């Protein structure tokens, strides 16, 4: 079996229960290989596995599926599964109906509680807490975007120019204060609105906001596996600068990325 199969993982997003993201490998090819299970049996087991996840929405597959490769059993099964299952399809939202507001000191009392609640999907050490939001609000050129669909809170993208002290706290030893650099502290689309094109839209809004504020570089840390934000940021043209194997004790791989805003 080709080695890339061994790395195939499926990322699932629960629609019903928290925690919002289940980063779960539902089938490890390596395990099957060790047990010396036949190809037919493997296909059968994977089908059963996929059929059992009707309460989940299939969010993505890493590494990307090579559709043309007939050996990519798992990938091709998933593609078949996606075609067969109507529940994985979610209507894209017309972004013209999304209202964007800047988070300010004035409206923070209204919006910060939504943000703090949404941040609960991250482990405590990784959360953007009230103190951090306060710091960002006080900073000189923050870009703090909050999104709504009708009356509903959709998500947010918060960034600011990090101080020397903040940079040290992020273990960015190689960096120093740069007034042209904006750091994307957090970006979230709430559970209900995920997978409908709004993350990409919000990134675009944030990037435009950062450019208008005069920033030349956008940097941030992104969860590597199962992370839509890493995928989206790369699509905008971001490059990887450094990989952190265990980001703040999360046991997850995070990548520090940079986007040259003068080229977007
Ligand atoms: C990450 C997040 C902001 C993405 O927003 P979203 O509205 O779900 O994403 P979109 O529907 O706009 O998808 C945009 C693209 O990302 C891809 N994508 C979304 N989630 C993905 C995932 N988990 N893995 C790989 N790709 C993913 C989509 O397929 C789409 O790709 P395409 O443009 O090539 O078609 C949102 O899922 C979220 O808030 N997640 C929880 C919080 C989080 O992880 N924040 C980032 C911390 S690093």
Q: What is the pLDDT of residues 215-235, one digit of tens each?
A: 999 999 998 876 789 999 999
Asked whether the whole model's pTM tops 0.85, one would answer no
Provide the pLDDT for residue 35. 61
Q: If pLDDT is split at 50, 70 and 90, which confidence band does 195 have?
A: confident
- Structural contact between residues 143 and 94, judged by C-beta atoms closer than 8 angstroms: no
| Residue 149 predicted with pLDDT over 80 | yes
Please name the CATH architecture into which domain 95-263 falls: 3-Layer(aba) Sandwich (3.40)
Residue 127 corresponds to which tokens in the numbers above? 């959360």
Tell the residue nearest (CA) to atom 4 of ligand 1.
199
What's residue 187's pLDDT? 97
Sheet holding 9-14, edge to edge: 21-22, 9-14, 56-62
Which atom of ligand 1 is least distant from the CA of 11? 23
User: What are the residue ranges spanned by the domains of the chain?
Assistant: 3-88, 95-263
> Are 229 and 212 spatial neighbours (Cβ–Cβ below 8 Å)?
no
CB of 59 closer than 6 angstroms to any ligand 1 atom: yes
Place of tokens 């988070």: 103
Q: Is 223 in the pocket of ligand 1 (CB under 6 A)?
A: yes
For the cut 50, the answer to whether the pLDDT of residue 245 exceeds it is yes
Does the CB atom of residue 56 touch ligand 1 within 6 A?
no
> Can you tell me the mean pLDDT for 184-193?
92
Could you give the C-alpha distances from 161 to 101, 107, 164, 204, in angstroms and in order?
19, 21, 10, 18
Neighbours of 183 (CB within 10 A): 22
pLDDT tens across 10-49, in order? 444 333 332 222 333 444 445 555 566 565 665 666 566 5
Query: pLDDT by residue (tens digit) across 64-105?
Result: 444 454 445 555 555 555 444 434 446 789 999 999 999 999
């Amino acid at each position: 079996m080709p080695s890339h199969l061994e790395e195939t993982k499926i990322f699932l997003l629960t629609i019903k229960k928290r925690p919002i993201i289940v980063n779960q490998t539902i089938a490890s090819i390596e395990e099957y290989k060790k047990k010396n299970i036949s190809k037919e049996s493997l296909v059968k087991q994977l089908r059963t596995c996929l059929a059992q996840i009707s309460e989940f929405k299939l969010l993505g597959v890493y590494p990307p599926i090579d559709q043309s490769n007939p050996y990519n059993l798992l990938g091709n099964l998933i593609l078949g599964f996606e075609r067969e299952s109507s529940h994985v399809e979610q209507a894209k939202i017309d972004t013209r109906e999304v209202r964007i507001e800047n988070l300010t000191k004035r409206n923070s009392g209204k919006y910060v509680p939504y943000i703090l609640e949404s941040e609960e999907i991250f482990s405590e050490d990784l959360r953007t807490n009230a103190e951090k939001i306060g710091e960002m609000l006080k900073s000189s050129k923050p870009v703090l975007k909050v999104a709504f669909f009708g009356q509903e809170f959709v998500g947010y993208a918060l960034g600011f120019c990090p101080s020397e002290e903040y940079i040290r706290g992020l273990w960015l030893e190689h960096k120093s204060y740069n007034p042209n650099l904006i750091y994307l502290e957090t970006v979230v689309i709430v559970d209900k609105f995920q997978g409908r094109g709004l993350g990409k839209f919000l990134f675009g809004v944030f990037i435009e906001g950062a450019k208008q504020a005069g920033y030349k570089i956008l940097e941030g840390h992104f969860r590597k596996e199962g992370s839509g934000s890493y995928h989206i940021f790369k699509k905008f043209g971001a490059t990887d600068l450094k990989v952190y194997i265990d980001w703040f004790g999360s046991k997850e791989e995070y990548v520090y990325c940079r986007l040259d805003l003068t080229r977007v």
